[in-house]
Amino acid sequence: AQSVTQLDSHVSVSEGTPVLLRCNYSSSYSPSLFWYVQHPNKGLQLLLKYTSAATLVKGINGFEAEFKKSETSFHLTKPSAHMSDAAEYFCVVSRGSARQLTFGSGTQLTVLP
């Protein structure tokens, strides 16, 4: 069985300050992990993915995430938030096939001017 927990349903940051979106996972296998972003009324866009290569994964738009097996975490970070980063973010764990994805409940990021 696998599961994913996004620890914060809402995060607010000021523009130009760092972003931290937290994700913990549980998996019986070596998982693949993903972060997706969803802007209002849009589909999900892939930010980055971890597939057992480097533990620090760099994605698009300045985001990165670090896989920490000992902590079963895959937190998403960005050094400096931009207004356009305001969106909902989903952490996703996969057991190996795209059909076996488990989605987190999402974190709504608000960026304050």
Partner 1 sequence: SQTIHQWPATLVQPVGSPLSLECTVEGTSNPNLYWYRQAAGRGLQLLFYSVGIGQISSEVPQNLSASRPQDRQFILSSKKLLLSDSGFYLCAWSASGSGNTIYFGEGSWLTVV
Binding site for partner 1 (CB under 8 A): 32, 34, 36, 41-46, 49, 51, 90, 94, 96-99, 101, 103-106
CB nearer to partner 1: pick between 12 and 30: 30
Q: Which is nearer to partner 1, 17 or 52 (CB)?
A: 52
Please, what is the minimum distance in Å from the beta carbon of residue 38 to partner 1? 8
> Rounded distance, CA 55 to CA 74, Å?
9
Q: How far is the CB of 103 from partner 1 (least distance, A)?
A: 5
**Backbone phi, then psi, for 111, in 5-degree steps?**
-115, 120
Question: Cβ 21 to partner 1, closest distance in Å?
Answer: 15
Rounded Cα distance, 71 and 50, in Å:
15
d(C-alpha 7, C-alpha 110), whole Å: 16
